[in-house]
């Protein structure tokens, strides 16, 4: 069941190229991006972000995303569907290919309800469903990403230390369209169901963590909580599916670090275990398409 679908209009233009990877992120730039005096540099930064992500995964899917300009730092609006936990687990097990997949699935009980919240159903993004081969009703745009380009460095060679990395912010939001995010962030009107990332949220070995308490411990773990790969954010001012800030800025941090180029690594492992297939990185090109629409279902804003 697709819940709360809203449509808004955009004037868009695009450039076409042949994709080199089986995952194809179809980027559409809104009129605000196209009319920006720095449009060429902004598009180049977004395309670099897409290229990095595409090079990591081999899933034969197309992910249409609209890119717009706006306030804050970055935000994503993503279409989501309800799927039963048992359906998701069956598809996840059938799709398992990596060592991380095997370790992660070993921690997921075979039952009808989610071990996170006891509910029968979960929320999955459209792209995540496609990666696992789970059918859904048609969705024209899988997500809309809004970027505040006025406070961003467009490339990684000329860096203003008071601004944020455009490429990293774009990657952060694309990861959310692909499927990263917590059910703890669902807005009013959505059933309070967990999401795939929540299956790997722990406070200690064998102890799951699924709370908005600011004092709670929560970290991403593939092996049932034995190994803490990165801490989750527990601040209500940021997304609970993002990472807590640390000495080493990461792409999925809840709060951006000005002047930094964030690392991208643990995010790849997280996407792998929720249903994506890894690919050996190689140079890639992108397929871009023009469209006259945008999509809003689940909206998340980054501080």
The residue segments making up the domain with residue 264 are 6-302
Could you say which DSSP state residue 134 is in?
-
Residue-wise DSSP of 224-251: TTSS--EEBP--TTS-TTSBPP-SS-BT
178 within domain boundaries: yes
Residues contacting residue 113 through CB under 8 Å, at least 6 positions apart: 85, 119, 120
SS3 assignment, position 291: coil
Domain-embedded: residue 174 = yes
Query: Would residue 252 count as lying in a domain?
Result: yes
The C-alpha angle with vertex 131 and arms to 165 and 228, in degrees rounded to 5, equals 60
Question: Whose CA is closest to 53, among 302, 265, 300, 230?
Answer: 265
Considering the entire predicted model, what is its pTM? 0.88
With vertex at residue 44, the alpha carbon angle to CA 39 and CA 46, rounded to the nearest 5 degrees, is 95
Backbone angles phi, psi at 44, to 5 degrees: -60, -40
Residues 6 or more apart whose CB falls under 8 angstroms from that of 30 comprise 10, 11, 12, 66, 67, 68, 69, 294
Say if residues 29 and 14 touch (Cβ distance below 8 Å). yes
Q: Please report, for residues 26, 32, 44, 150, 248, the alpha-carbon distance to residue 39 in angstroms, rounded to integers and kept in the order given.
A: 18, 9, 8, 12, 30
Q: Is residue 1 part of a domain?
A: no
Helix (H) or strand (E) holding 178: helix 166-178
- Decide: 12 and 293 in contact? Cβ < 8 Å: no
Tell whether 222 is covered by a domain: yes
Q: Quote the tokens at residue 20.
A: 């080199």
Does 186 reside within a domain? Answer: yes
C-beta of residue 291 within 8 angstroms of C-beta of residue 73:
no
Residue 243's DSSP bridge partners are 232, 253
Domain count, the chain: 1
pLDDT along the chain (303 residues), means of 10: 32 42 91 98 98 96 97 95 98 97 98 98 98 96 98 97 98 98 90 96 98 97 98 96 97 97 98 92 39 43 59
Tokens 């807005």 sit at which residue?
A: 187
Whole-angstrom distance, CA of residue 229 vs CA of residue 248 = 13
In a domain, 239, yes or no: yes
3-state secondary structure of 92: helix
Does 209 reside within a domain? yes
Q: Which residues contact 145 (CB under 8 A, 6 or more apart)?
A: 65, 66, 67, 68, 74, 75, 76, 77, 170, 173, 174, 177
Q: What integer pLDDT is reported at residue 222 of this predicted model?
A: 98
* Angle, alpha carbons 46-186-253 (nearest 5°): 45
């Amino acid at each position: 069941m697709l819940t709360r679908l809203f449509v808004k209009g955009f004037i868009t233009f695009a450039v076409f190229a042949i994709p080199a990877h089986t995952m194809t992120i179809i980027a559409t730039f809104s009129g605000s991006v196209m009319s920006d005096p720095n449009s060429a540099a902004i598009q180049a930064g977004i395309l670099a972000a897409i290229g990095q992500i595409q090079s990591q995964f081999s899933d034969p899917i197309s992910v249409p995303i609209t890119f717009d300009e706006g306030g804050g730092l970055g935000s994503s609006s993503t279409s989501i569907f309800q799927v039963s936990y048992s359906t998701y687990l069956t598809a996840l097990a059938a799709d398992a290919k990596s060592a991380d997949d095997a370790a992660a699935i070993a921690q997921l009980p075979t039952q009808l309800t989610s071990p996170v919240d006891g509910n029968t159903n979960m929320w999955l993004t459209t792209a995540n469903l496609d990666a696992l081969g789970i059918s859904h009703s048609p969705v024209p745009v899988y997500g809309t990403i809004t970027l505040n380009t006025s406070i961003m460095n467009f490339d990684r060679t000329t860096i203003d230390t008071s601004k944020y990395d455009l490429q990293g912010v774009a990657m952060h939001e694309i990861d959310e369209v692909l499927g990263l995010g917590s059910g703890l962030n669902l807005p009013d009107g959505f059933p309070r169901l967990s999401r795939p990332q929540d299956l790997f949220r722990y406070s200690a070995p064998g102890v799951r963590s699924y709370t908005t308490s600011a004092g709670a411990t929560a970290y991403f773990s593939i092996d049932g909580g034995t190994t803490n790969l990165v801490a989750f954010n527990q601040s209500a001012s940021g997304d609970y599916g993002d990472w807590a800030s640390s000495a080493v800025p990461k792409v999925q941090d809840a709060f951006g670090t000005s002047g930094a180029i964030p690392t991208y690594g643990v995010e790849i492992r997280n996407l792998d275990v929720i249903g994506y297939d890894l690919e050996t990185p190689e140079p890639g090109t992108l397929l871009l398409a023009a469209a006259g629409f945008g999509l809003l279902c689940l909206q998340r804003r980054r501080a």
